[in-house]
Structure 1
């Protein structure tokens, strides 16, 4: 793909994103919410791993404090993280595909005309793929920023009550989690657009 074609595809994608601003916003929120929840789970598990091999539990009835072995709990949480890591992106992908189908339906006649005049499937796909990438990257940044500010607030309050807690630093979110967020968001957006468009190209 040369620069001229890419510029054409990019401008077409941006125009369509603006035209369908509601659908675009829904897709961005879907991706950002998915990454936010997965990131929150990951931060929690990393913080648990940083702490002692036991969890401190306060018995509010007897006013006694007991230590319990948290290995089983940590294992359960890790399995939940694995489940969330796989299930939430699948749900997000389904919602992104659905939103793209709504967008494609509005451009169905345009797609049919392009096919009629001899446009290849990839020529038709590229604007939608770029739309998906833009949505994915936007969702990744939104999710990362929200996670940073919310976690930073929780982090500060938690240390005020329990200073000895060993939690992940909020900077970990922007330093180590941003680019994985971007990669996952890009993947969700691009694959979502390809899946949504496949049916219309095969008609």
Structure 2
């Protein structure tokens, strides 16, 4: 395609958008809403995946010991743990080490949270057990449950299972909403193009009569749909970036142990994906709407 021809198509498309600016803006807004919702569910899925991966890598069994536990009971518990094939490693953590680790986890900015309890140190001595696979947690817990000297057993597998279940629900909801909004976007873009085509139906008939190819007639409308799609993608990306940035800041402040996908991911990766999807949605909507008008 020659540059001059492409320039003609682009100018013609922009004129058409200007003539039908109200419905063109509505189409772009729908594309923006579609891609925004897709982005929300995509970021949610990525955040959940990252949290699950982080949690699974840290899945361990914490066996807290009674303060009055005897040396014999302690050795018996340790021997039992080490005898299990499912155990990858085991280490003893006393009260002082537990407090030190907790302080490191919460960071310098949140030290005020433990000022009142640091002197008393209510944290118990414990065995920290790493398992070979998160699926093996239950078996390890069942093997040591009920042994004398154990105050409490904590394991993180239930958290992982809950997060996975939430992820599946989010994915299904996202797929349904995205499918509905894709349909609405195609419908609106199609109607925008139909209005333009209908107002120029005589011109299209003359162009066909003098030998213009279908694709020569199609291109201005396809480019128009692409422009609407890209404009919608830009709006959706901007709203998603600033919206997610607010959520990211609040969650990172309130839940400092959770690491989420950084907002810049929206600009570096999702932005060009949105652009491609916007072009695809716009071009498909245009092609579908103009098809019957070419049968002149």
TM over 0.5: yes
Long gaps (5+) in structure 2: 57-157
TM-score, length-scaled by structure 1? 0.85
- Which of 140-149 and 111-120 deviates more? 111-120
Q: Given the alignment of the two structures, is residue 36 of structure 1 paired with residue 63 of structure 2, yes or no?
A: no
Partner of 1:49: 49
Q: Which residue of 2 aligns with 1:12?
A: 12
- Aligned match for 1:156, one of 241, 249, 255: 249
Contact 1:36–1:147 (CA under 8 A) maintained in structure 2: yes
Q: 2:239 aligns with which of 127, 140, 146?
A: 146
Deviates more, 1:71-80 or 1:41-50: 71-80
**Cα shift at 1:166:** 2.0
Where does residue 114 of structure 1 map in the other structure? 207
**Larger Rg over CA atoms:** 2
**TM-score, scaled to structure 2:** 0.60
Q: 2:270 aligns with which of 177, 184, 193?
A: 177
SS of equivalent residue, structure 2 residue 246:
helix
Partners of 2:237 and 2:230 lie apart in 1 by: 10
Shift of 1:85: 4.4
Secondary structure of 1:44's aligned partner = helix
Shift of 1:128: 0.5
State the 1:135 CA deviation. 1.2
> What are the Cα deviations for residues 54-82 of structure 1, in whole angstroms up to 9, with x where unaligned?
9xxxxxxxxxxxx6531322222223334
Q: How large is the Cα RMSD of the aligned pairs?
A: 2.1
Q: Tell me the distance in 2 between the aligned counterparts of 1:165 and 1:94.
A: 41
Instruction: Pick the structure with more helix per residue.
Output: 1
The 8 Å contact of residues 35 and 143 in structure 1, kept in 2 or not, is answered as yes
Cα distance in 2, alignment partners of residues 23 and 83 from structure 1: 25
Aligned residues: 192
2:256 is paired with a residue whose SS is coil
Task: Note the alpha carbon deviations across 1:6-25, whole angstroms, 9 max, x for none.
Answer: 11111111111112111221
The whole-number CA distance in structure 2 between the counterparts of 1:27 and 1:38 is: 17
| 1:25 and 2:118 correspond | no
Give CA deviations for 1:117-148 in whole Å, capped at 9, x if unaligned.
33221111111111111111111111111100
Task: Name the structure 1 match of 2:102.
Answer: none
Aligned to 1:61: none
SS at match of 1:51: helix
**For residue 108 of structure 2, what is the aligned residue in structure 1?**
none
